[in-house]
């Protein structure tokens, strides 16, 4: 940048735009570990990533988001093409698939920022710039195999994050729902709107959903009651058997297809050891229109912000009093791609790519992880369990310091040479950028950074070809509390061995998973 002549010193407010934030410090470290954990799992399953531009041609996004299109950020018309900031990662992926027709199959993940010109509510986590994390499998395969692997990946991710026993995957199938609506007598033209009403069952009681169906949407109350018999069901393979045994449902072609899919999927999920995390939940409907098969949502304790949990008595009372619309608006989290209270969601969408390619359909199944919500929950847990303090701000393993009595020179060239030797061996090391630093200053700098080891140089020791290595923070009385003299020529090996041992011991604590428990 060139310093212009029209500089005005702080004639303006120093801030970031509304609804955006700087990621820094421990938040940045924790977030990076979460992203790294998730990415490792994707790679373990052969996924690749694609990086699309932050802005797309305006017309690519137009007409894709219904009413929410008003939330799209446009670039100013400065001549040339009209562009908009991406609103999600799904449309750019579908656009890419349509542009690259030679790609008939791909497993891709994409962790990146998306933009929504929404009213920000930072305390509720609703931002104008926020991260999405999408994983999608495109291509034609034998039925339910990619679907099963996505759910396996989902469990691997939450297990790796340390959430074992704390999350449930709710699962349902669009075709089963459609079949239920058909056999209950919902008119064809009301199926989508009734489906949206059902989708609210995670935060509204059935009485309220039933009222919406009959009063707001004009459904025959008798039909609503029939729906109620189905959509309040949940279970596992037992529920599937029950539905399969239901002759009315089995006679419906759509329901039959959906139940067959689920039977096959449950077989695969048993082999993948995923079934114990599954809740087959007939109330799960997912708001988005484009799903064509299995749909799922991951919920965890505390995944809904307290104020948004419709299950709280206050919220239920508010809803009963007809304050639903306002509550709905308040409930919107920063990532509408996952439902309220969920930390990941997705499903099969076999007809979306055709919107761009016109001709070729590429079947897809995917999941979006609400990474900012996962971050918030992880951080809140770490703070509650006081593990956040242990997060190291940088990755330095060794702080190189020096001490001496009267006439101490600072041993700067010696410290630099030791640091260089460590760097050459790939060891993460720092030293004080002072010519003559005091020993307490150096210790303080190392402690502030949470550096686990110090190499301490002294003139006499150096003459003997020795340096001292000291593990920081050892308790009083520990035999190595004051450090150990080692041969300088052996320093790299000693450091590597000790750092490896330290990391092995602290591996559990280093993982986001463990610190979040």
Q: Is 444 in the site for a copy of itself (CB under 8 A)?
A: no
Count, residues in the chain: 517
Give min distance, CB of 153 to a copy of itself, in A: 9
What is the helix (H) or strand (E) element at residue 135, kind and residue range?
strand 129-138
Residue 157 main-chain phi, psi, to 5 deg: -65, -50
Q: Is 428 in the site for a copy of itself (CB under 8 A)?
A: yes
Member of 241, 326, 384, 393 binding a copy of itself (CB under 8 A):
393
Q: What is the footprint of a copy of itself within residues 458-487 (CB under 8 A)?
A: none
Q: What is the footprint of a copy of itself within residues 90-149 (CB under 8 A)?
A: 90-91, 95-96, 98-100, 113, 115, 117, 129, 141-142, 145-146, 148-149
Q: Is 88 in the site for a copy of itself (CB under 8 A)?
A: yes
Instruction: Decide whether 141 or 317 has the Cβ nearer to a copy of itself.
Output: 141
CA 501/CA 495 separation, integer angstroms: 10
> Which single residue is written with the structure tokens 């390619």?
357
What is the helix (H) or strand (E) element at residue 455, kind and residue range?
strand 453-458
| CB < 8 Å & 24+ apart, contacts of 268-276 | 268/144, 268/145, 268/148, 269/148, 269/151, 269/152, 272/148, 272/149, 272/151, 272/152, 274/148, 274/151, 274/152, 274/155, 274/169, 275/236, 275/237
Member of 276, 301, 395, 447 binding a copy of itself (CB under 8 A):
395
b/e code 200-230 from CB counts within 10 Å (16+ = b): bbbbbeeebbbbbbbeeeebeeebbebbbeb
Size of the site for a copy of itself (CB under 8 A): 115
Residue 333-372 contact track with a copy of itself, rule CB under 8 A, x = bound? -------------------x-xxxxx--------------
290 is known to lie in a ligand binding site: yes
286 is known to lie in a ligand binding site: yes
Of residues 229, 230, 210, the one with CA closest to residue 220: 210
141 is known to lie in a ligand binding site: no
> Could you tell me which stretch among 181-189, 304-312, 391-399, 488-496 binds a copy of itself (CB under 8 A)?
391-399
CA 271/CA 265 separation, integer angstroms: 10
Q: What is the footprint of a copy of itself within residues 215-274 (CB under 8 A)?
A: 267-268, 271-273
Member of 317, 323, 420, 481 binding a copy of itself (CB under 8 A):
420
Give min distance, CB of 288 to a copy of itself, in A: 6
Give min distance, CB of 490 to a copy of itself, in A: 21
88 is known to lie in a ligand binding site: yes
What is the helix (H) or strand (E) element at residue 278, kind and residue range?
strand 278-281
| Annotation: binding site for L-histidine | 88-90, 116, 132, 136, 286, 290-291
């Amino acid at each position: 940048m060139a310093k212009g002549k029209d500089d005005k010193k702080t004639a303006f407010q120093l801030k970031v735009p509304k609804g955006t934030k700087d990621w820094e410090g421990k938040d940045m470290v924790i977030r990076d570990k979460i992203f790294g954990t998730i990415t490792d799992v994707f790679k373990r399953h052969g996924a690749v990533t694609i990086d699309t531009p932050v802005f797309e041609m305006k017309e690519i996004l137009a007409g894709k988001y219904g009413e929410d299109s008003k939330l799209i950020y446009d670039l100013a018309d400065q001549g040339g093409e009209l562009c908009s900031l991406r609103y999600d990662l799904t449309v750019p992926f579908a656009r890419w698939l349509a542009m690259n027709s030679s790609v008939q199959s791909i497993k891709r993940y994409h962790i990146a920022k998306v933009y929504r010109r929404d009213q920000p509510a930072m305390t509720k986590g609703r931002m104008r710039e926020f991260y999405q994390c999408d994983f999608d499998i495109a291509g034609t395969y034998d039925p339910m195999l990619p679907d099963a692997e996505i759910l396996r990946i989902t469990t691997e991710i939450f297990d790796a994050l340390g959430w074992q026993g704390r999350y449930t995957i709710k699962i349902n199938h669009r075709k089963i729902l459609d079949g239920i609506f058909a056999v209950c007598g919902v008119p064809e033209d009301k199926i989508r709107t009734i489906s949206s009403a059902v989708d609210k069952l995670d935060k509204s009681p059935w009485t309220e959903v039933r009222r919406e169906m009959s009063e707001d949407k004009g459904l025959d109350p008798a039909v609503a009651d029939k729906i109620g018999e189905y959509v309040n069901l949940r279970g596992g393979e037992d529920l599937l058997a029950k539905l399969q045994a239901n002759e009315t449902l089995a006679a419906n072609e759509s329901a039959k297809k959906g139940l067959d899919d689920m039977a096959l999927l449950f077989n695969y999920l048993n082999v993948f050891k995923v079934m114990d995390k599954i809740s087959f939940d007939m109330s799960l409907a997912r708001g988005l229109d484009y799903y064509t098969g299995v749909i799922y949502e991951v919920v965890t304790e505390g995944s809904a912000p307290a104020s948004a949990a419709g299950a709280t008595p206050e919220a239920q009372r508010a809803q009963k009093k007809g304050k639903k619309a306002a509550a709905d608006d308040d409930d919107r989290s920063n990532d509408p791609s996952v439902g309220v209270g969920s930390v990941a969601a997705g499903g099969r969408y076999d007809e979306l790519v055709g919107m761009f390619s016109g001709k070729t359909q590429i079947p897809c199944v995917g999941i979006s992880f609400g990474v900012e919500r996962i971050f918030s929950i992880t951080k809140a847990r770490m703070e509650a369990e006081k593990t956040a303090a242990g997060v190291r701000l940088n990755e330095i393993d060794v702080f190189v310091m020096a001490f001496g009595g009267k006439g101490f020179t600072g041993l700067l060239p010696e410290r630099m040479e030791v640091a260089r030797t460590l760097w050459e061996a790939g060891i993460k090391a720092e030293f004080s950028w002072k010519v003559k630093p005091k020993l307490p200053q150096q210790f303080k700098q190392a402690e502030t950074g949470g550096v686990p080891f110090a190499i301490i140089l002294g003139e006499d020791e150096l003459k003997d070809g020795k340096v001292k290595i000291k593990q920081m923070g050892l308790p009083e009385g520990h035999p190595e509390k004051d450090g150990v003299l080692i041969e300088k020529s052996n320093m790299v090996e000693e450091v590597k061995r000790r750092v490896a041992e330290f990391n092995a011991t602290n591996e559990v604590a280093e993982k986001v998973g463990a610190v979040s428990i």
